[in-house]
Amino acid sequence: MSINEIIELTDTYLISTYNRFPVIFTRGKGCYLYDEENKEYLDFLCGLGVNNLGHGYPSVVYSIKEQIEKLLHVSNLYYIAQQAKLAELVVKHAFAGKMFFCNSGAEANEAAIKLARLYAKDKGITHPEIITAQKSFHGRTLATVAATGQKKVQKGFEPLFAGFNYVPFQDLSAIEKAINDSTAAVMIEPIQGEGGVHVGSPEYLMGVRDICTKRGVLLILDEVQTGLGRTGKLFCYQHTDIEPDILTMAKALGGGLPIGAILAKKQTADHFVPGTHATTFGGNPLSCSAAMAVVHALVNEGILESCQKIGLYFEEKLRELQGKYPFIQEVRGKGLMWGMELNKEGAQIVKDCLDQGLIINCTMGNVLRFLPPLIISHHEVDKGLAILDKVLSKE
């Protein structure tokens, strides 16, 4: 089938929720994707922060293949070995607590919000409130749309799910002021991804932790995008010495298979009891096998260290471009999560890069976003950013 036929099928039979680029990728290997004509693309987006180990990472492929042959799904009416082992592995490399598995980032945040509400109800709060940040992004379900501090995500879906209060990001006094007797939790991304790659400073994260502890309010960190090695630690909060009460993760966890999760401190986690929350698919043997291979690779195969090192190189190269092109206003990020804010629209640049064989995207209209595989080499960074340089030089 030709690409034009597939586009026509898509337009006819799929609900139009996306603006798609006219490319069909047919295979991937390491940092590269290939289209139907075998054209090669350097992947600096990783399927929106999912393929952190690149495409076809051998141990992940092996563990998926092995599990597919044995068993895919049984439901949570039964004990699932892979789920229990995965939880133990994540806890060992994060903090003492307990996990719940679901299928996506939005679902992980939904679970966190439900848990925070139960925690508040048990404290006698009848109308619990959760403080989130402006420009945050927490998902597309009704509760997470309400949690998201962006009007454009909420528009048309009013009345919004109640109980959220938005404060500017990176502003501790705004949180101090917003907390009241009804506050159940503060929920933030350590680095805002969809909102334009805004980095929460270590002082900010530590300050938020401090305020939450003093006021008896839960700290929920949404690490759906920053998690699983993206910033050079397994989780971004690990660049500081704080711990959240609830940590949410998804995107890169399953190496491309859909899985999300929360990890909660035991006293918090215990507010969920049988019957309060559930999912049919969540934590099935297949997605958990994949996730175990992903976490193993990240912590045991030097990938976090390599991400930190290459991340510094990536930053240096982006800053060189910033020095060269006056329309680049700011370069922000950590590890291998970077944003380049322009003083103009970025859509055409993204399109031109794609034509030239480099995959990036743009958030908030004018922030080019880079989420390359954590296994990327210096050579591939050079190659990708040379394409970007060429495209920028024509602006």
Ligand X SMILES: *Cc1c(COP(=O)(O)O)cnc(C)c1O
- The site for ligand X (CB under 6 A) is made up of 104-106, 109, 137-139, 189, 193-194, 222, 224-225, 250-251
Point out the catalytic residue in the list 44, 169, 222, 334: 222
| Residue nearer to ligand X on the CB measure, 59 or 240 | 240
CA distance 300 to 318: 29
What's the distance, Cα to Cα, between the start and end of the chain in Å?
Answer: 36
Query: Of these residues, 95, 137, 164, 235, which one is catalytic?
Result: 137
Residue 161: exposed, middle, or buried by beta-carbon count in 10 A (0-12, 13-18, 19+)? middle
Catalytic annotation present for 171: no
| Cα gap 352→368, rounded to integer Å | 13
Catalytic annotation on 65? no
* Identity of the residue, 33 or 371, whose beta carbon is nearer to ligand X in the bound complex: 371
**C-beta closer to ligand X: residue 191 or 303:** 191
**Three-state SS for 128?**
coil
> Which of 117/369 has CB closer to ligand X?
369
User: Closest approach of Cβ 173 to ligand X, in Å?
Assistant: 24
Instruction: Using the structure block, give the residue that is written with the tokens 């404060």.
Output: 167
The Cα 317–Cα 393 span in angstroms is: 15
Rounded Cα distance, 87 and 182, in Å: 32
User: Helix H segments across the chain?
Assistant: 3-13, 46-49, 58-70, 81-93, 105-122, 142-147, 151-154, 172-178, 202-215, 266-269, 285-300, 303-324, 347-355, 378-393
Catalytic, 137? Answer yes
Query: Annotated active-site positions, please?
Result: 137, 222, 251
